Homo-oligomer: A and B are copies of this chain.
């Protein structure tokens, strides 16, 4: 993982709305309408932030009829946790 893409991944975490979305998804798969109720933002703005998270690879989307469910991309998030800087071992 390059330094640039790592910085891009952290910048996906660098927004309160996106952190709230991720925290909500920590409880399991949620459709956009459920997220909208929990996070309380305009639908189009929520779509924008979900798109940012999707393109950063931190969540995945699954259409289910009229609804679209999102869930955490746990592998990517684990990798990101391991990439937080720290003292060399």
Interface residues of A (CB under 8 A from B): 3-4, 6-8, 10-11, 13-16, 18-20, 22-23, 25-28, 58, 72, 74, 77-78, 80-81, 84-88
Contact = CB atoms under 8 A, between A and B. Distances in A.
Contact of A77 (B7, B20, B23, B84): B84
Count of identical protomers in the assembly: 2
Nearest to A89: B26
B85 A22 contact: yes
Contact of A13 (B4, B18, B84): B84
A19 B1 CA distance: 13
Contacts of A3: 16, 19-20
Contacts of A85: 13, 19, 22-23, 25-26, 58, 72, 77
Contact of A86 (B15, B19, B78): B78
